[in-house]
Amino acid sequence: MNSKEVNSSIIKQEAKRLGFDFCGISKAEFLEEEAPRLEAWLNSNKHGKMEYMENHFDKRLNPTLLVDDAKSVVSLLYNYYPSQTQNTEAPKISKYAYGKDYHEVIKEKLNEFLHTLKEKIGDVNGRAFVDSAPILDKAWAKKSGLGWIGKNANLINKQQGSFFFIAELIIDLELAYDGPIKDYCGTCTRCIDACPTEAIVEPFVVDGSKCISYLTIELKDAIPNEFKDKMDNWAFGCDVCQDVCPWNRFSTPHNETQFINQTGLLNWNANEWHELTEETFQMIFRKSALKRTKYKGLKRNLEFIKPIR
């Protein structure tokens, strides 16, 4: 093996040691295929009030603007599919939010990853990303062969479906690069048919301003009344398009103890959610991804989905 292959092998072994389920490597270069798609999506206002999506357009498409002398993008998948389930009568939260905030869990692993690469390979410089910068993580994961982009705009892995966090290392080291795989969605339209708010406006295009995840997390204003009977009891995020995807029959429960819920909230009934006080919110969700909505946002969501009696 040449040095690129040796170093790539070291990186993939280290990814496995740290608990990442899949690792793929691609060349750090301008994403030509994604540029017109992103521009069209923004121009048609499918990002709703996520104004930050309009910022750093060039950086989203070019990793060399994020890391000096970037040569490679290492894409990583970390499973979050839970063995636990929520009380079926309760307002629903996305599976990724059951345990500790994934940003904290994965960022710690990525920092260790970079440190180990310096020890094992030498002078490797770069940055670690997990939802923390203007980077098209699904595009890079696709480019490195970790899956394909499904009709619901999620990355789907042939072995284990789509319940993964995606993270990256952008580094100044040339490596042996992986290539993309084919699309295996075929003629299936289950995600499109099942979306409660019809946010998947055409295959592979999601109108973010209609997506329940956007409405319950990103949107800071009042939820528009047009969605009053379409929220499917979701209080934080939405998993519908993933739950109905046939490829997720291959999902297996994660092994990350920090993603296991320790607060008992999965057993809460509807009344316990609706009677949640700010004091309890601060205590229960201080290390959770749910803190993104803040107490005021979560209460807004709960009131909006509350059945009229």
More confident residue, 133 or 183: 183
Report the pLDDT value the prediction gives residue 16, as an integer from 0 to 100. Answer: 98
- The pLDDT of 129-152, averaged and rounded, is 92
Q: In the numeric block, which tokens belong to residue 302? A: 């709960």
Report the pLDDT value the prediction gives residue 154, as an integer from 0 to 100. Answer: 96
Q: Which of 115, 232, 104, 251 is nearest to 167 (CA)?
A: 104
Task: Report the C-alpha dihedral over residues 48, 49, 50, 56, rounded to 10 degrees.
Answer: 100
Give the distance from CA 304 to its chain's centroid: 25
Kindly give the pairing relationship between strand 155-156 and strand 148-149: antiparallel
Please, which pLDDT band fits residue 50 given cuts at 50, 70 and 90? low
Return the CATH number of the domain spanning residue range 3-86+93-171.
3.40.109
Helix spans in the chain (H): 3-17, 34-43, 57-61, 102-120, 137-143, 190-194, 212-213, 240-243, 270-274, 278-284, 294-305
- The pLDDT of 291-306, averaged and rounded, is 95
Query: pLDDT at residue 149 above 60?
Result: yes
Report the pLDDT value the prediction gives residue 45, as an integer from 0 to 100. Answer: 60
Task: Kindly report, as residue ranges, where domains of CATH 3.40.109 are found in the chain.
Answer: 3-86+93-171
- Does the active-site annotation cover 131? yes
Question: What are 111-139's pLDDT values in tens digits?
Answer: 999 999 999 999 899 999 998 777 889 99
Please, which pLDDT band fits residue 307 given cuts at 50, 70 and 90? confident
Report the pLDDT value the prediction gives residue 15, as an integer from 0 to 100. Answer: 98
pTM equals 0.93
- The pLDDT of 199-223, averaged and rounded, is 93
Question: What are 239-291's pLDDT values in tens digits?
Answer: 999 999 999 999 999 999 999 999 999 999 999 999 999 999 999 999 999 99
Question: What are 71-108's pLDDT values in tens digits?
Answer: 999 999 999 999 999 999 999 999 999 999 999 999 99
Q: Write down the catalytic residue from 131, 172, 183, 243.
A: 131
3-state SS class at 23: strand
Kindly give the pairing relationship between strand 164-171 and strand 126-129: antiparallel
From CA 166, how far away is CA 3, in angstroms rounded? 27
Report the pLDDT value the prediction gives residue 53, as an integer from 0 to 100. Answer: 56
Q: Which of 151, 130, 127 is nearest to 141 (CA)?
A: 130
Report the pLDDT value the prediction gives residue 56, as an integer from 0 to 100. Answer: 58
